[in-house]
Amino acid sequence: MSQATHVLLDKLVNGYEVVIGFETHTQLTTQSKLFSRASTSFGAEPNTNASAVDFALPGALPVMNKGAVQRAIEFGLAVNGHIAESSVFARKNYFYPDLPKGYQISQFEIPVVQGGAVEFFLEGEKKTVRLVRAHLEEDAGKSLHEDFADMTGIDLNRAGTPLLEIVTEPDMRSTAEAVAYAKELHKIVTWIGICDGNMQEGSFRCDANVSVRKPGQPLGTRREIKNLNSFKFMQQAMDYEVRWQIEQIEDGHAIQQATVLFDPDTGETRSMRSKEDAADYRYFPDPDLPPLVIGRDWVEKTRAEMSELPRVMAARFVADYGLPEYDAGQLTQSKAMAAYFEAVAAASKQPKLASNWVMGELSKRLNSDEKAIESSAVSSLQLARLIERIADSTISNSAAKQVFDALWTGESTDVDAIIDAKGLKQISDSGELEKIIDTVLAANAKNVEEIRAGNTKAMNALVGQAMKATQGKANPAQVNALLKKKIG
Amino acid sequence: MALTTQDIARVANLARLELRPIEVERVLGQLNGFFKLVAQMEAVNTDDVEPLAHPAAILGDVALRLRDDLPSEPNQRDISQRSAPAVERGLFLVPKVIE
Amino acid sequence: MSTPPDLHDLSVVDLAAKLAAGDVSSVEVTQHFLNRIKSEQLGAFLALDADVSLAQAKAADVRLAAGERTPLLGVPLAHKDVFVTRDFATTAGSKMLANYRSPFDATVVSKLAQAGMVSLGKLNCDEFAMGSGNENSAYFPAKNPWDTRRIPGGSSGGSAAAVAARLTPAATGTDTGGSIRQPASLTGITGIKPTYGRCSRYGMVAFASSLDQAGPMARSALDCALLLSAMAGPDLDRDSTSLDMPAVDYATDLIAARAYKTGDSAPKHPLKGLRIGLPKQFFGAGCAPDVLLAVRSALAEYEKLGATLVDVDLPLTELSIPVYYVIAPAEASSNLSRFDGVRYGHRAAHYTDLNDMYKKSRSEGFGDEATRRIMIGTYVLSHGYYDAYYLKAQKIRRLIAQDFQTAFTQCDIIAGPVSPTVAWKIGENKADPVANYLADIYTLSSSLAGLPGMSVPAGFGEGGMPVGLQLIGNYFKEAQLLGAAHQYQMVTDWHDKKPGASS
């Protein structure tokens, strides 16, 4: 049963099924533009990253950037899509000041990537969102409204930047699922290096097509929320839109197809100025550009040279390290994190502990300091050594946290030195422990009676006492074992 | 397939052209005459015929040439903007656009 | 200082020889033509700048003095105003681009400049190359030097008038549906549209992208061959439709043939074995009798030269008109969208908002024919009409191209008239612009197929007006066309005739 027909009853909102599809525009990491040799560098003075082609001067003509095609192929492979042997560029005609030619060169009937899917986990459940297509097109320029009284300033630096537009089937059934999809897609495009993923700079922009319907009914009319460039806003915008549509329907109003913008200040979506005529784009194959031919050799060469994809790596972590799927998914959120984890696992030979520490304490610390893992104050080798000391019972888990702190703040770089300096070594010596335990048992005869009578909870108090007596340095597992042995 | 003044208005709007009423009438007549001519195309059977978008394609497949990804065009703003109707601080100015 | 009186009667090849021999300098030659142009009454030129031209001539003289001897060095020419130039304004015959200064030169312009040719200025044309009489120029009509009450043809009307009137030894033109061949025919000069993709389109103000081609216009096939050798060639970095085929020397063989011709052992039938196909659709009732007479006389000469005439069939000839007039305006409507008053070109002085600015700027900037074609083009691409019009036309286009391939199994060159009539009077066809489209019937189909085509002066018709013979070749066969034209021009002198109005 395809996901599209399976109604997730627990995801209904006020009895309505939510249907969402995404279109994501990813700016590709090429040096030059899609059809011009101007630079794509960010932050240049207005109209200084623009050539005759970008200014759409009379007589200028487009010439295709191989790097953009290369990245489209890589994306197609990453999502198991079909790379078209021949795809066509088409002109999408409309008038807007940031669109210098009066048409955008895009792909219409025959895109470069067809099909494919993105898989991810949502609350422990595996989800698959099917892709319809991904195609190459050029970005428009920028309009600056604020600086000039009743005029708008047009900067064409961005005009012509290569975009890969990625379109999904309307497979998503909750706003949370849609955000999870967006995050997974973001991970894929940054992992394979085709997009820098910088959402503030506009490298990754999502349009959400949202509709609602009573289960079993045909698809409702969708409204498109444009230009969502943060995951937080994505969630807010879609939640608002869903509630708004349901309210409209309940009040007896039909939903009109519209393009809407999200206003982060008000938390609402509102309809953009009507663009009915803009809907007639008069697409036709661009006569300035013959078809894009991609031979199977090129595809296979790319496939062979691509680094391991996150899903594949996650599956390998499950198989080789015995990690749960969720952990594997977390660890493969970026190439850098995965590499860090593997280095720790290899050096310590403790993949589960490595996973816990990378996902737990390390991630927590990186987040609160707003650091990327590449700038982690604790190196993978240091963490590996720390984990080894836990595994060989030199220190307890709680002691390990103190060691980690010391590493993080730069107090020292040597795990063993820190353990010695802070006297964190666990007491594992049986003889020493036995003496302490005998003392504890002697002082707590009543508890001993209760334990023998079947009250296992009373054991905790004894363990606690033993730990106190050893200033926390006793190996808790050993303490437990010894107590049990002595009590009987 | 006779055109109406509404068709003319729609097409003129799509093309961002402004025609005075007298021009609309004239263009309407001219276009209707033209489309009578164009209707002749219907007589030709084109089932199973591929469109010929690029003349060279009649000889064999034409493929798009690809260039290396090198940013070799320098800043050429000043010379490119010398014929611009309205420029300020390097930006082209247009009447304010309301989104 | 007196200048030789017959400099303007010299061909390009002979001018080049004189310059190479040091008989005359490029500055002298250039000044000579500039003087003639100053008093021209034909509306041929839109832009002139003597300082620029003479500076280029000086530079050519320096190269000559250094010993450089290349076929076009120091010879002047003028460019149709759809080629962008840094040194002259480019208007494309439109108010939309009044005073527009391009920051770059068209590739064709650069190549000819590199070859050492000197720009005399920019030549008048129908607005955005749309038209067959140069009456659609937003500035003024151009006039036929054979009868100044008549059109010189279009859209390269200024180019044709200037060459015919000896205001320039040669000119560049562009041909989308016949705009080099038809004005050449109507003014008695020689012109060639090469195979689509032979010459770079970079820097040509785009009209119909899958049809536009640059080509030379001059007074002989040999002169055209010299220019085409410099103009043609791959422009792989800038034009994705430019053919990756090496540049060809079209002239050397023709010069050798000329030398051979004057010798004792010259062959009596140099074109023996050449099969010339005559499409019956080109010789029907639609063609005026005076034109057919001149064309048939020319074909008789070809038989004398050894060629065989065969009948061929191009059944879709008439349909080439609606097919062309759907495809070309469709592409044009999109190509002309960049003229929006934002970054260059005409912007209206008064408007209420952005859309009003677009509408007023474009309506003020475009003339009637450009407006009409944009309307047609927008309509045939619009929702619901694309399949029936644009797609249908592109399919018939393939059939037309296939018909030519079939015909070329039976012949080597296809011949016929260029235009159904000689040049008509200025203003005569203004009332029904669509009727003008019908006159393109003989040139449109080869344009649609992307085939090379020439017009060669073949005699005179009604009113003493010139008639051109059209020669259409198979893909990449420009050398064969030029050779066949050259052989004809060695036994006839139509191409040497001078109009009275060449001041």
Percent helix, strand, coil in chain B, to 5, is 40, 10, 50
Residue C344's contacts (CB-CB under 8 Å, 6 or more residues apart) are: A55, A57, A58, B83, B84, B85, C97, C100
Nearest 5°: phi and psi at A168? -100, 165
Angstrom distance (rounded) from CA C19 to CA C26: 7
Closest partner CB to C378 (pick from B11, B19, B94)? B11
What pLDDT is recorded for position C503? 41
Kindly write down the DSSP assignment for every residue of C178-233, as one continuous string: STTHHHHHHHT-EEEE-STTSB--TTBPPS-TTT-EEEEEESSHHHHHHHHHHHBS
Q: Retrieve residue C96's tokens.
A: 């939309």
Question: Within an 8 Å CB–CB cutoff, is residue B6 touching chain C?
Answer: no
Range of the domain at C37: 10-255
In a domain, C45, yes or no: yes
Contact B61, A289 (CB under 8 A): no
Pick from A52, A63, A280: CB nearest C237: A63
Euclidean distance between the first and the last CA atom of chain B, given in angstroms as a whole number:
37
Overall size of chain C counted in residues:
503
Instruction: Give the residue numbers of C marked as catalytic.
Output: 80, 155, 179
pLDDT digits (tens, 9 = 90+) for C101-156: 999 999 999 999 999 999 999 999 999 999 999 999 999 999 999 999 999 999 99
The DSSP H or E segment spanning C453 is strand C453-460
Q: Looking at the DSSP assignment, which residues form a beta bridge with residue A228?
A: A206
* A152 → closest Cβ in B16, B89, B96: B96
Tell me how long chain A is. 488
Q: What are the angstrom distances between the C-alpha of C320 and each of A440, C385, C443, C468?
A: 107, 19, 9, 20
State the chains in contact with B (3 or more Cβ–Cβ pairs under 8 Å).
A, C
- CB burial class (10 A; 0-12, 13-18, 19+) of residue A159? buried
Which chain B residue is nearest to residue C347, measuring alpha carbons?
Answer: B85
Is the pLDDT higher at C293 or at A277?
C293
Q: What is the mean pLDDT of residues C319-348?
A: 97
Is pLDDT of C436 > 90? no
Residues in chain A within 8 Å Cβ distance of C84:
57-59
CATH number for the domain including C42?
Answer: 3.90.1300.10
Alpha helices in C252-319 (DSSP H): 252-262, 289-304
Residues of chain B in contact with residue C322, where contact means CB-CB under 8 angstroms, are 37-41
> Could you report the predicted ipTM of this complex, rounded to two decimals?
0.96
Is the separation of the CB atoms in C150 and C104 below 8 Å? no
Main-chain phi, psi angles of C450, to 5 degrees: 80, 15
> Chain B neighbours among A 262-301 (CB < 8 Å)?
272-273, 277, 280, 282, 285, 287, 289-293
Q: Strands A142-144 and A151-155, how do they pair?
A: antiparallel
Instruction: Please tell me the CATH code under which domain A430-487 is placed.
Output: 1.10.10.410
Please state the domain extents for chain A. Answer: 3-299, 309-421, 430-487
Is it the case that residue B75 has pLDDT exceeding 60?
yes
CA nearest to C150, candidates C102, C183, C189: C183
Q: Are A21 and A209 in contact (CB under 8 A)?
A: yes
Residue C215 lies in a domain: yes
Chain A: give the shortest CA distance to residue B67, in Å: 5
Residue C454 near residue C477 (C-beta atoms within 8 A): no
Nearest by CB to residue C331, choosing from A102, A279, A287, is A287
Quickly state the pLDDT bin for B17 (edges 50, 70, 90): very high
- Give a three-class secondary structure readout of C365-393: HCCHHHHHHHHHHHHHHCCCCCHHHHHHH
As a whole number of angstroms, the distance between CA C272 and CA C288 comes to 30
Tell me which chain B residues have a C-beta less than 8 angstroms from the C-beta of C243. Answer: 56
Cα–Cα distance, C201 to C205 (Å, whole number): 8
Which chain A residue's Cα is nearest to B53?
A: A287
Chain A within 8 Å of C354 (Cβ-Cβ)? yes
CB atoms within 10 A of CB A175: 23
> Does position B77 have pLDDT exceeding 60, yes or no?
yes
Q: Pairing relation of β-strands A90-93 and A103-106?
A: antiparallel
- Residue A55 near chain C (CB below 8 Å): yes
Structure tokens at C256: 């050798």
CATH superfamily of B1-43: Glu-tRNAGln amidotransferase C subunit, N-terminal domain (1.10.20.60)
pLDDT of residue B53: 86
> Which uninterrupted H or E stretch holds C78?
strand C76-80
- Residue numbers of A between 57 and 76 with CB closer than 8 Å to B: 57, 63-69
Does the residue C301 lie in any domain?
no
φ, ψ of residue C321 in degrees (nearest 5):
-70, -60
> What's the pLDDT at A318?
95
The tally of domains found in chain C comes to: 1
Q: Is C342 on the interface with A (CB under 8 A)?
A: yes
The 3-state secondary structure of C171-190, one letter per residue: EEEEECCCCCHHHHHHHCCE
CA distance to partner chain B, nearest, from residue C58 (Å): 26
A74-97 pLDDT, tens digit per residue, is: 999 999 999 999 999 999 999 999
Query: Residue C75: left if φ>0, alpha if ψ -120 to 50, beta else—which one?
Result: beta
Q: Is C454 helix (H, G, I), strand (E, B) or coil?
A: strand
Q: How far apart are CA B42 and CA B9, in angstroms?
A: 26
pLDDT tens sequence across C5-26: 689 999 999 999 999 999 999 9
Residues of B in contact with A103 (CB under 8 A): none
Query: How many C-beta neighbours within 10 Å does residue C244 have?
Result: 9
Q: How far is B88 from chain C (nearest CA, A)?
A: 12
Q: What residues in C contact B17, CB-CB < 8 Å?
A: 359, 362-363, 366, 371, 374-375
Of B10, B51, B82, the CB nearest to C395: B51
pLDDT of residue A249: 95
pLDDT at B60 over 60: yes
Least confident of A14-28, C33-47, C71-85, C257-271: C257-271
Rounded-to-integer distance, Cα C186 and Cα C460, Å? 10
Chains that touch A (3 or more CB pairs under 8 A): B, C
pLDDT for res C265: 64
Q: How far apart are CA C167 and CA B12, in angstroms?
A: 41
Helix segments in C22-82, DSSP class H? 26-38, 50-65
Q: Which two tokens stand for residue C307?
A: 């060629």
Percent share of chain C, pLDDT over 90: 92
Question: C121, C76, C185: which is closest to C468 by C-alpha?
Answer: C185
| Prior bond of C155 cis (ω within 30°) | yes
Which amino acid, A395?
A: I
Instruction: Answer yes or no: do B51 and C394 touch at CB < 8 A.
Output: yes
- Name the amino acid, one letter, at C463: G
Lookup: tokens for C324: 């062309």
The three state secondary structure string of chain A is CCHHHCCCHHHCECCEEEEEEEEEEEECCCCECCCCCCECCCCCCCCCCCCCCCCCCCCCCCCEEHHHHHHHHHHHHHCCCEECCEECCEEEECCCCCCCCCEEEECCCCCCEECCEEEEEECCEEEEEEEEEEEEEECCCEEECCCCCCEEEEECCCCCCEEEEEEECCCECCHHHHHHHHHHHHHHHHHCCCCCCCCCCCCEEEEEEEEEECCCCCCCCCEEEEEECCHHHHHHHHHHHHHHHHHHHHCCCCCCCEEEEEECCCCEEEECCCCHHHHCCCCEECCCCCCEECCHHHHHHHHHHCCCCHHHHHHHHHHHHCCCHHHHHHHCCCHHHHHHHHHHHHHHCCHHHHHHHHHHHHHHHHHHCCCCHHHCCCCHHHHHHHHHHHHCCCCCHHHHHHHHHHHHCCCCCCHHHHHHHCCCCCECCHHHHHHHHHHHHHHCHHHHHHHHHCCCHHHHHHHHHHHHHCCCCECHHHHHHHHHHHHC
Low-confidence ranges of chain A (pLDDT < 70): 1-10, 273-278, 488
- B96–A32 CB contact, under 8 Å: no
In angstroms, the separation between the Cα of residue A208 and the nearest Cα of chain B is 18
Amino acid at A255: I
- B91 contacts A50? CB cut-off 8 A: no
Do the Cβ atoms of C379 and B31 come within 8 Å?
A: yes
